[in-house]
Amino acid sequence: MNYVVVPQKRRLELNRGICQLMDNDRFMTAAKAEEMAKKIVSDRVRRRKKAWNPEWYAEYLRSEKWKAIKERVLRRDCGFCLACAQIATTVHHRSYDDDVMNGRRDGALVSLCQSCHTKIEFRADGTKASLEEANARLDNMLK
């Protein structure tokens, strides 16, 4: 039998899928359950990648759901930019997971003024920073 090194997070997803499938069908072989779990996980990953595109995000930012979340976060932070104390006009996502995007984890959202948001989101050459890079820049500004 061949073994492959699988990152821990991926292993946990596969294990959850296998357990779920084996609970549903007690007579399924472990190999069949693992094959089906991999398909479930790859379908989830494909859906996430497919869902993340500029058109989808622009539509999300126009949605009533986002407007309510943004208003709630700005109110929580008293309308001030947490980096420079100017008037906040935007909210930065520290994460794009489902709980954050659906308003169930506001702790991953930060009120910022447009100037500070631009500083963390874009590099000096004008290219967009990765989420990790933007969050690192924000952490430095909040020190």
* Concatenated DSSP letters of 16-55: HHHHHHHHH-TTS-HHHHHHHHHHHHHHHHHHHHHH-SHH
pTM, entire model: 0.63
User: What would the pLDDT profile of 66-91 be if each residue is shown by its tens digit?
Assistant: 999 999 999 999 999 999 999 999 99
**Rounded distance, CA 129 to CA 143, Å?**
20
What angle in degrees, to the nearest 10, is found between the helix axes of 64-76 and 54-62?
70
Is residue 17 within 8 Å of residue 37, measured between CB atoms?
A: yes
For residue 4, what pLDDT is reported? Answer: 44
Domain boundaries, the chain: 8-51, 63-142
Residue 111: phi and psi, rounded to 5, are -75, 130
User: What is the pLDDT, as a whole number, of residue 57?
Assistant: 85
